[in-house]
Copies of this chain bind each other. A is one copy, B any other.
Amino acid sequence: MKKQLFPLVTADIALFTLIEERLSVLLVQRANEPFIGQWAIPGGVLDPSTDSDLEQTARRILQSKINVKPGHLEQVKTVSGAVRDPRGWSISILFSALLPADQVPAVVGDKTQAVQWCDPQNCGHKLAFDHQELLEAALEGLRKKVRNRALPLHLLPSKFTLTQVQRVCERVLGQELDKGTFRRQLRENADLVELEGEYVRGAQRPAQLYTAAPGFVFKDA
């Protein structure tokens, strides 16, 4: 066997959004070996001739394969080793990306691959490579930030109600939150800007609309 001097380097992305108010992650069906036909999180190989860094690799893959520009992209961790990819020694830099619910493309991907939005906790597929572990790490990273009071506003449309903020946090955490406590915490939060005079009318009284503060970043409070 030929000695492998260089590792294979890929960026893999857990892309989260809300589909019908449920937290969802994108899976793609692999069109090539290895693991042809199996489902995986989207990813691709680093191209040093075009990518300025690995964040750029991830953005290029999302743009070219899925036709999306995420509102938020961050590194989760790097996995590596001689055995995780049958092609040889490999490194995967795992990213987590958030896509606003109103920016989900009607058709994602191209004709060469099937795609699917799945429940990240129970995707119903045996994933290729170590992607099950990667998906779990990305979900846990997202949950940890929300537990530490970061607001995943990049999953919401640009205007939203406080009820929507609570709902998206609940969907990420997988559990209901006490409304009184949650509202009290939001009051101290400078990430939200009230949109003066803008309301949503529903069955109940009109609900104030908010938007993310300029320069908002999804990070721990």
- Name the contact of A78 in the complex, choosing from B5, B6, B75, B81 (C-beta under 8 A): B75
Q: Which residues of B contact A88 (CB under 8 A)?
A: 48
| Contact among B5, B49, B54, B79 with A80 in the assembled complex (CB-CB below 8 Å) | B54
User: What is the copy number of this chain in the assembly?
Assistant: 2
Tell me the count of chain A residues lying within 8 A, CB to CB, of chain B.
24
Task: Determine which of B9, B49, B54, B77 lies in contact with A3 in the assembled complex, contact meaning CB atoms within 8 Å.
Answer: B49
Decide yes or no: A53 and B77 within 8 Å by CB, A6-B6, A91-B91 being known contacts.
Answer: no
Measured in the bound complex, the distance between the Cα atoms of B107 and A208 in whole Å is 65
Chain A 63-97 near chain B by CB (<8 Å), digits 1 or 0: 00000000000010111111000001101010000
- Chain A binding surface SS class: loop
A34 at the B interface (CB under 8 A): no
Distance, CA A5 to CA B5, complexed state (A): 12
Instruction: Report the Cα distance A49→B4, complex, angstroms.
Output: 7
Contacts of A78 in B (CB 8 A): 54, 75, 78, 93
**CA of A51 to CA of B88 in the docked complex: distance in angstroms?**
13
The chain B residue with its CB closest to the CB of A79 is B53
- Determine the distance from Cα of A46 to Cα of B78 in the docked complex, in whole angstroms: 14
A191 to B93, CA, bound (A): 32
Give residues in A with beta carbon < 8 Å to B.
3-7, 9, 46, 48-49, 51-54, 75, 77-82, 88-89, 91, 93
